[in-house]
Amino acid sequence: MRADWLDPPSLKDATRAQREIAEACETEDRIGEVRLIAGTDTSAKWRDQRGPIHAAVAPLRWPSREVLPAVTVTRIPPFPYVPGYLGFRETPALVAAWERQAEKPDMLFVDGHGRAHPRRCGIATHLGVLLDVPTVGVAKSILCGRVEGELGEAPGSTAPLVDRGEVVAMALRTRARALPVYVGTGHRVSIDTAVRWVLDLAEGRRLPLTTRLAHDAANAARRAFLSSPRAVGGGGE
C-alpha cells in the first residue's frame, strides 16, 4: 500500500495518485472463493469539515448471510474536503477499520462510486486498489456522466451510465418505483458481476444489505462519539 496513495501531501499529488490508482484498477473478475463479504461506509457530523470521520466495515458470512459484528474506527481526516477527492478523507479511516478485522472479507461493497468518477477513481476504486480486494461501488447519485437509454420500472432493470464514451457504471432498479442505485467496478469485479451481487443483496430494498449494515454501524459510531467526553474537544483516535 503506497503511502502517497493514502495520504498525498498536496492536491497536485492527490490528482496524480488518483490517475495512478485508476491505471492499477482491474475491471474484470478476479474474485476467488467468497466466504465473507462486507459493506463499508462512513459518517460525519453534518457540515463539519474538521471533525472526525467514523468508518465502519460490516461483515456477513456468505452464502448464509449471517450478520457479524461490525468494526468501527474514528479518525480525524488528513485531507480537506474537496469535491472529487473524497477518497483521501475517508479511506484512511476505512483502511484502519479493515486492519482491525480479524478475518478479512473476500469482497467489499462500498457506499460510493468506483470508476464513475472524472478520473476513474471513486472511493470504491481507491479503497479496492489500496487493499487489493474485489470491490463494488454502490452510489445513490451521479457524480459524472449520464444514463443512456430508458431505465425500466421493474426490479432488475438496468441502463448504462456513460461518461466520455465509456460505460462507467450501471443504473440499477433494485425495487419497483424506487430511485435507482449506480453500481460499478471498484476493483477486480466486472460491472455485470457487480450488478448481480447488488441485486441479490438488495432483498427487495433500494440499497443492498451490506450497505444498510455499514450505514447503521457508522452512524452508531458517530452518535457514540458525540455523546462521549472526547467530542467536547473535537478529537478522534
Kindly report the backbone phi and psi dihedral angles of residue 48, in degrees, each rounded to the nearest multiple of 5, phi listed first: -90, 105
Residue 159 within any structural domain of the chain:
no
Radius of gyration over every alpha carbon of the chain, rounded to an integer in angstroms:
17
Backbone torsions φ then ψ of 121, nearest 5 degrees? -140, 65
In a domain, residue 154? The reply is no
3-state helix, strand, coil in the chain (%, to 5): 30, 25, 45
DSSP conformation class of 119: T
Res 235 pLDDT > 50: no
Residue 70, C-alpha cell as written in the block:
461490525
Residue 26 lies in a domain: yes
Could you give the number of structural domains in the chain?
1
Starting at the edge strand found earlier in the chain, the sheet holding 36-43 runs 71-75, 53-61, 36-43, 107-111, 135-139, 181-187, 166-172, 158-163, 146-147
Greatest alpha-carbon pair distance for the chain in Å reads 52
Tens digits of residue pLDDT in 141-167: 999 999 999 999 999 999 999 999 999
pLDDT per residue as tens digits for the range 183-227: 999 999 999 999 999 999 999 999 999 999 999 999 999 999 988
Question: Considering the domain boundaries, does residue 9 fall inside one?
Answer: yes
Query: Has residue 88 been placed in a domain?
Result: yes
Q: Name the residue range of residue 183's domain.
A: 3-146+179-233
Look up the CATH number of the domain holding residue 92. 3.30.2170.10
Instruction: Give the predicted TM-score (pTM) of the model.
Output: 0.94
Residues 6+ apart with CB under 8 A from 170: 158, 159, 160, 161, 182, 183, 184, 191, 194, 195
Residue 120 lies in a domain: yes
